[in-house]
Copies of this chain bind each other. A is one copy, B any other.
Amino acid sequence: MNEIEARQVILTGDRPTGPLHLGHYVGSVCRRVELQHRHQQFVMIADVQALTDNAEDPSKVRNNVLEVAFDYLAAGIDPEVSTILIQSLIPELAELTIFYMNLVTVARLQRNPTVKEEIKQRGFEVSLPVGFLCYPVSQAADITAFDASLVPVGDDQLPMIEQTREIVRSFNRIYCTEALVEPTALLSKVPRLPGIDGGAKMGKSLGNAIYLGDSADVVRNKVKKMFTDPTHLQVEDPGTVEGNPVFSFLDAFDPDPDRIEARKEHYRRGGLGDGVVKKELLEFLQAELEPIRKRREVYAADPSEMMRILLDGSCAAREIASATLQRVRTALKIDYIGNSGSLSRIGRTNGFRDRQLYT
């Protein structure tokens, strides 16, 4: 892909609704660790978006903000090169969302295939919170706020990027401006990691996940009870590798393709026991997870340092978002206080009177 050659701005992130697992790691986190050195990367913990379908359970969101942050740092997202931020600490995102909502019709949002599917999954057909319907608009705010030109996504998220691109084009056309940057999707080439039960997708609610935070013992037990080919009863029996999560995991974690092929061949013709393959897999997993556990311990020893990193990143991100909002305000002709920034700053720098209206 040509667009990743030059240094670009990336926005990526997660809804803090659960700790991160190997599915996240393989699907996106790993890639961020790599991309952060070639691009300017913003990693957002999307708590405001998580509230759109967890409005009745804010504690879950709050607790997982910290979980996800620990997972990021433990996995190797480096706050010295990536900017990690908490969505709700950037009020500019709410303002941008409100302005973009005037450029998107209800029908357009209802046609979004990903949102349609998610509405079904959540049983929101009858009672759909308008905040949930609008979350693609809020994502457009996130992406444009940081001038992101590249957004790493799986193909199920392509409709989101398309919605953002439409908003950017409408905005720039209507207001005769180049205030907003039109992003490009960076499609993930990594296949989805199955659950340890052989289910197509690893997920917290499915109870089939190995978490980045799992201890060595827990990982060992999870690999031990991992689903394999149920017809592969004797070591001598020929086995099937398709739909066998042990081999899907090896595809993801063994760096040597030849060794993977040889092993699959052996398993297919018989004579390779599940226990042996699982033992190999376990070694790859522990080797991958051990440095992650080590880093987690370091950060866990000083939670205030992690909070400092999150606030620091959010502060830095807010400056960029604030500049974007200023361009948007200018385009919308509501830049009453010019380029001097926020109202309170105006208040201070202009020796604004601090009236006691409400005594």
A47 within 8 A of B: yes
With A333-B61, A343-B315 as contacts: A97 and B94 at CB distance below 8 Å: yes
Q: How far is the CB of A229 from chain B (nearest CB, A)?
A: 45
Among B130, B175, B316, point to the contact of A105 (Cβ < 8 A): B130
Please, which residues of chain B bring their CB within 8 A of the CB of A40? 357-358
Find out whether the CB atom of A98 lies under 8 angstroms from the CB atom of B97.
yes
In the complex, whether A101 has a CB less than 8 A from a CB of chain B is yes
Binds B, one of A208-216, A254-262, A290-298, A347-355: A347-355
User: Chain B nearest CB: distance from A65 CB in Å?
Assistant: 8
Among the listed B55, B312, B315, which residue makes an inter-chain contact with A344, where contact means beta carbons less than 8 Å apart? B315
A 178-218 contacts with B by CB, 8 A: none
The yes or no answer to A329 lying at the interface (CB within 8 A) is yes
Residue of B nearest to A341 (CB): B344
Say if the beta carbon of A77 comes within 8 Å of chain B. no
Q: Which of A310-359 contact B (CB under 8 A)?
A: 310-312, 314-316, 318, 320, 329, 331-334, 336-337, 342-344, 346-347, 352-353, 355, 357-358
The oligomer's copy count stands at 2
Chain B nearest Cβ from A139, distance in angstroms: 13
Partner-B contacts on A (CB < 8 A): 40, 47-48, 51-52, 55-56, 58-59, 61-62, 65, 83, 86, 88-89, 91-92, 94-95, 97-99, 101-107, 109, 126-134, 137-138, 174-175, 307, 310-312, 314-316, 318, 320, 329, 331-334, 336-337, 342-344, 346-347, 352-353, 355, 357-358
Q: A52-B101, A91-B94, A107-B127 are in contact. List 11 more A-B contacts (CB 8 A).
A: A40-B358, A47-B334, A89-B337, A102-B129, A106-B128, A106-B130, A130-B133, A130-B137, A134-B134, A315-B347, A316-B357
Give me the 8 closest cross-chain CB pairs, A-B, nearest first: A101-B131, A102-B131, A55-B102, A62-B333, A94-B94, A58-B333, A94-B95, A94-B98
